[in-house]
Structure 1
């Protein structure tokens, strides 16, 4: 008995080692993928630890309003004399944390509904898909406009919660389609023929098969959440209760006239470059994941 357990544990450990070796080979095949992973990890580090290196209220210098880029201020200063790069760093926590919360809620809720609906089919499938269709027809921007009148969205978790509850419909639809395809496969039919419970089939058979697809959807949801919240703050839909990249874009364009004068241009370019660089990192990581979890691509 003990020898069988040890053998099973050894097999699992060997499979994990082979998996990570395969990941390393895929990442080394294209250096751009390693660059993408470094970019994403760098932003994660900046979001977690970056604000710790700056005071909660950044120092203002009335004598250096919209100061040009220099060795002291890499992206210049804003209309209050505050360092722009420091604002990018301190504002990253709100943006990245709310994006992470959005992605987790979107993927968990959408995956749970899609798996249950696609596996059960019948009446449950009809009810859950009608609810999903109703959710997809609700326009997000008007709803956020209404919510902003009573909710300040000062917390990144609050923002992530709202965006996540508004964004799970597409994931639910996609996961249901994948589930309908997988439930007819031989290994699922064999599990059902053995009388295994639904929780075992879904949790041990279906979910691992869909893990790569779910992981990529989560990364894509992160970028979508960044665009959504930055766009809302840029348009002035939400009150400025927290420093973040969207607020910086709004103040640089509508307050500093960055589109008509070069003085505030670095103030606008800094958050834009951060968003573009973060998006590039996510795209490169998703490209690597596609090959990691696709045997056909690994063989080519």
Structure 2
């Protein structure tokens, strides 16, 4: 019997996967802007992975090209040390995206685990975990980062991502718990409990796949928040300037190069701002596509 059903099961799974990807393609093709979002995100990932390989670890200064305005040779001009601004954006992208990725991963994994377990178990576990989450949400992260900056220099993007992730999981935990409380009353969860399946199985095999689209969108949104957080901290001077980061560029452009009052230094300010805006645009377009892919009502419209 099992040998007879195995090919049919495999064929059904393959058909479902094929139909899913065909649906994804239809949704992406419906609005070309969504494909633009995918291209933008892929471009940033490739830039972060391969871009720094094109330049030395620390770009050398050039006394003959200090604070040059934009030109064909230097599209966004040069900084007060004579370094190409576009090259600084490219080399700084690895720190920004790697730390944002680590932040999003920790935020989503920790927040999802706590929210799922709390919402499913309820009772004392729910009370304890939500009180911890509430305490986490009330703790201001900026003063803690100021203290940690005296110990860590955050030259490693993984350190930055770890700290921001540990500070940012509370909102995700609350949101996932609310979703879990709604799903746990559905028929398929009641059936799984009636069959005596373990909590681990129900959460891992029943609840988690149903919430995967929501979790994926939260991960992309967490990437945006992490980029804003780290860039803002570097711009405010909270963290040492020992890392290639777009926030460091913004700080030096405003307070060292005088980009707000000097026209030829404007490119030094605009380059990291455009990179942040372009990355945000790509994430917004992809999240819009994911919302329609996983929302049957939107697909039918």
Partner of 2:226: 225
SS in 2 for 1:264: helix
Deviations 1:180-228 (A, max 9, x none): 0000011100110011111111011100110010000000000000000
CA shift, 1:263, in A, is: 2.4
Cα separation, 2, equivalents of 1:80 and 1:219? 35
CA shift, 1:59, in A, is: 2.5
Q: Which runs of 5+ in 1 are unaligned?
A: none
SS in 1 for 2:263: coil
Partner of 2:155: 154
Matches within 5 A, 1:83-232: 83-232=84-233
Say whether the 8 Å CA contact 2:115–2:173 is kept in structure 1: yes
Cα separation, 2, equivalents of 1:6 and 1:221? 41
CA shift, 1:8, in A, is: 1.1
Say whether the 8 Å CA contact 2:70–2:264 is kept in structure 1: no
Partner of 2:299: 298
SS in 2 for 1:202: helix
Deviations 1:212-262 (A, max 9, x none): 100000000000000000000000000012111010001100111111111
Cα separation, 2, equivalents of 1:186 and 1:216? 25
Cα separation, 2, equivalents of 1:91 and 1:75? 15
Partner of 1:274: 275
CA RMSD of aligned residues (A): 0.7
Cα separation, 1, equivalents of 2:296 and 2:290? 11
Aligned length: 300
Partner of 1:261: 262
Cα separation, 1, equivalents of 2:155 and 2:10? 47
Cα separation, 2, equivalents of 1:57 and 1:250? 18
Partner of 2:286: 285
Partner of 2:33: 32
CA shift, 1:55, in A, is: 1.3
CA shift, 1:167, in A, is: 0.1
CA shift, 1:58, in A, is: 1.3
CA shift, 1:3, in A, is: 2.7
Partner of 1:250: 251
CA shift, 1:126, in A, is: 0.2
The normalised TM-score by structure 1 is: 0.99
Bigger mean CA offset, 5-14 vs 175-184: 5-14
SS in 2 for 1:224: helix
Say whether the 8 Å CA contact 2:164–2:226 is kept in structure 1: yes
In the alignment, is residue 17 of structure 1 matched against residue 18 of structure 2?
yes
Cα separation, 2, equivalents of 1:265 and 1:56? 25
Cα separation, 1, equivalents of 2:219 and 2:6? 34
Cα separation, 2, equivalents of 1:17 and 1:115? 30
The normalised TM-score by structure 2 is: 0.99
